[in-house]
Amino acid sequence: MSKLTDNDLTWLLSFESGRAFYNAKMKNSTVTQKTYTRWLKVYCDDLGLNPDQLALLKPNMADVMNAFQNKEKIPDPNQADKTLEDYLGFRMNEFYLKNPYSKKKNPKGHPQATTANKFNVMITIRSFYSANLRDLAKQTGKSLEKLKSKQRTPDVDDCVKLEKAMGNNARNAFLLWFLESCPVRVGTLKKLTWKDLKPLDDKDVPYWISIDADRLKGSGKGRYSKAKHVGFLHKYTGEKLKDYKKELKEKGIIYDENSPLFMSYHINQHGAEKGTRMVNFNDAFSNASIVAFGDDENKYYSPHDFRDLLSSVLGKPQINAKDKNIAKALVSHSATGIEGSYENFDGKEDKPNEDLLALFKQCIPFLLPETPATLKMELEQQKTQNNNVLEEMRKRIEDMQQQYENRFESFKNSIIRDQQKVNESLNKFVNVTPNKEEILAQ
């Protein structure tokens, strides 16, 4: 597995098909350039082909005509499609097994390429052929899209396991629970500063945060011009913040209100330096996911996956909101109806909207890590109490039934005794009464 280097772009542009790919798909985006270049090189290296040779696996009409005129074998029009399907299905895993770089990237030496890796290859190669006017068949590689689109939203138990897998890194633990209680995009995370944390005189919600449109999705343009994110940190996240501050002090990192909220601890290949803005947020989650969940790809989390955690809680039937539209301020990545979300806001920056704070407080029982255990204990206690009540009722019913049976038996015996007395009285009467012959004789 080849690693992205500074020479990869030079390598790409040295081929005609590479230049076509760059001009059509990459030149306006550095992120797209890095992604496409990396995975195209991975694919080419593994197959032992350069981009121009790769392009010829999908012949266009000119290639077919040239082969026909030169009386050469007509190239297989589906060769590129078959090669990609075979690679995604089998060969990519084989290359991961052989290559030490893939094992170095995964702490547990995960032997197979992840679905995300395969998806990146698939979209890169499809884009490459499209840029060279050699489009692959529509169904090629599409089976992966169903797997990729499967939503991965962690729950509180997952967060607890991820925190444990992060070890003693207090910054990463704070980042984890920050996203759990205040979900924002990675682009927004990079722009947060310490002064964004606004203290609240509330033991359950010690901090709140207000983020303007310029630092959110859409950068305040068009339909995002009125966007705003209002978030809250619950008490457990507040505890992680204290640990993070203590860790910064131990590492000798000085910061002020204008310093980035999430700070780098050392120089790395992503361009960060100690005490500056944290650049790469994904590694903290990907490495912890592998440690915590092993081979379960459905739990390979990234910061992106946390954006719907709070939304899922807000959708619970136990959460009641006077105006559900106001909840959009808590999940700023949703643009639908976003302008209407702030019409009734008081606009004050010294405190949050009271209705929004009350709405978040309803969510807290579903966000705190200790809450599930507490609820479970309360449910067990309630169950025990209910069982005790049922047992008491059962005993009372049995006692009443026994009392009824005893009374019925007593009543029956009483009737029998009375009947016996009547019979005895009748017998005596018969014995003392003279018969007809005795009466006539007298």
Q: Where is pLDDT greater, at 428 or 33?
A: 33
pLDDT tier at 244, thresholds 50, 70, 90? very high
CATH number of 156-369: 1.10.443.10
281-304: average pLDDT: 80
pLDDT tier at 207, thresholds 50, 70, 90? very high
Q: Is the confidence at residue 194, as pLDDT, over 50?
A: yes
Q: What is the model's pLDDT at position 109?
A: 47
Report in angstroms the alpha-carbon separations of 89 from 25, 39, 46, 80, 343. 26, 16, 14, 14, 51
Report in angstroms the alpha-carbon separations of 266 from 4, 183, 247. 21, 26, 14
Distance between CA atoms of residues 21 and 43, nearest Å? 15
Report in angstroms the alpha-carbon separations of 235 from 13, 35, 360, 416. 53, 38, 12, 77
Q: Is the confidence at residue 92, as pLDDT, over 50?
A: yes
Q: HSE on the CB side for 228, CA within 13 Å?
A: 17
Among 86, 148, 89, which Cα is nearest to 119's?
148
Distance between CA atoms of residues 202 and 82, nearest Å? 61
Nearest 5°: the CA angle 54, 55, 59 is: 120
Q: For the CA atoms of 13, 15, 20, 24, what is the dihedral angle to 10 degrees?
A: -40
Q: Is the confidence at residue 111, as pLDDT, over 80?
A: no
Distance between CA atoms of residues 320 and 363, nearest Å? 10
275-291: average pLDDT: 83
302-323: average pLDDT: 80
Distance between CA atoms of residues 214 and 188, nearest Å? 9
Q: What is the model's pLDDT at position 99?
A: 53
Among 222, 218, 220, 196, which Cα is nearest to 207's?
196
Q: What is the model's pLDDT at position 167?
A: 84
Distance between CA atoms of residues 193 and 68, nearest Å? 65
Distance between CA atoms of residues 295 and 283, nearest Å? 17
- CB 84 within 8 Å of CB 136: yes
Map out the domains of the chain as residue ranges: 8-148, 156-369, 382-441
Q: Other C-beta atoms within 10 Å of 25: how many? A: 17
- CB 128 within 8 Å of CB 40: yes
Distance between CA atoms of residues 138 and 93, nearest Å? 24
Distance between CA atoms of residues 336 and 153, nearest Å? 20
Q: What is the model's pLDDT at position 52?
A: 95
Distance between CA atoms of residues 240 and 255, nearest Å? 17
Q: Is the confidence at residue 339, as pLDDT, over 70?
A: no
Q: Is the confidence at residue 110, as pLDDT, over 50?
A: no
Among 222, 419, 227, 442, which Cα is nearest to 328's?
227
Task: Enumerate residues 6+ apart whose C-beta is below 8 A from 257.
Answer: 193, 194, 195
Decide: pTM greater than 0.85: no
Q: What is the model's pLDDT at position 259?
A: 94
Q: What is the model's pLDDT at position 262?
A: 93
- CB 88 within 8 Å of CB 121: yes
161-176 pLDDT tens trace? 999 888 889 999 999 9
Distance between CA atoms of residues 24 and 290, nearest Å? 36
DSSP code for 317 = T
Q: HSE on the CB side for 200, CA within 13 Å?
A: 23
